[in-house]
Amino acid sequence: MAEHVTIHEVGPRDGLQNEPGVISVADKVALIDLLGTSGLTDIEVGSFVSPKWVPQMANTPDVLTKMTRVAGCTYGVLVPNMRGWDSFAPFAGGPFEVAVFISASEGFSQSNLNCSVAESIVRLTPVVSAAEAAGVPVRGYVSCITDCPFDGPTQPESVAKAVADLRSVAPMQVSLGDTLGRGEPARVATMLDAVLDIAPADQLAGHFHDTGGQALENVSVALEKGLRHFDSAVGGLGGCPYAPGAPGNVATEAVLAHVTALGYTTGVDGDVITQAAALARSMKG
């Protein structure tokens, strides 16, 4: 029997947040609703962050209110601090998952969060506690798993420590982000070996950007190491606004074709994903 790979669609959040202008609520909802018909079970739909710093996500509450909630699908929202939690709290009874994030590098943490990695753990701990108290699942993100735009190459031990620190707060799944898209398969393998010493493969996900054209090779490496969860964005949109020169999440349609060709099942309709990719590419703020 073929093994299953779960695709975590991040287009409506990580994909659209890097657009120069704000995407309308109607357009975001149309994309999310189309994705919801594809068989995806995990879709990241927004974030509760300061509109001053990420204006593209300011309409997240309206998106959550108006989108169609498909049975069996979990919808992820990024909640970096308790101010964000207070804004998210009215939705805590729905099919939502809270995502928290840290960096494996100090330079990126200071640029993105204006604090050290250790301080970022302190900030997110009450968010995790509030989510657990409300019965909301939590997922973690670690950025800069191979390279930092400020510090250069990231040591595998730093990534392992970041994962361990997150999972010491709660036993969450952790998505490992190649934020710059510079990760080479050999370096990704070395990093994964270090992380797998402190977390099981089924509690890890690969989040690869295709800036360097090696995202699918890195997916293959992660599959060989036992990972079965991968983040991707329809149309290959997105990136991090705080990581200069790092556009382009790996495209969902490419990951879907890749893992299917390798013999894995996903439960995702490729025709719908193709339609969603075209819709995502047409969205400009």
Residues annotated as catalytic are: 240
Structure tokens at 27: 């357009």
Contact yes or no for 208/174 (Cβ under 8 A)? no
- What's the DSSP call for residue 247? B
Contact yes or no for 149/245 (Cβ under 8 A)? yes
Closest CA to 169 of 128, 135, 120, 136: 128
Angle at 69 between CA 57 and CA 229, to 5 degrees: 75
- For residue 130, give every residue at least 6 positions away whose Cβ sits within 8 Å of its Cβ, in sequence order, or none: 82, 85, 89
Amino acid letter at 116? S
Report the b/e string of 178-201 with b at 16+ CB within 10 A.
Answer: bbbbbbbeebbbbbbebbbeebeb
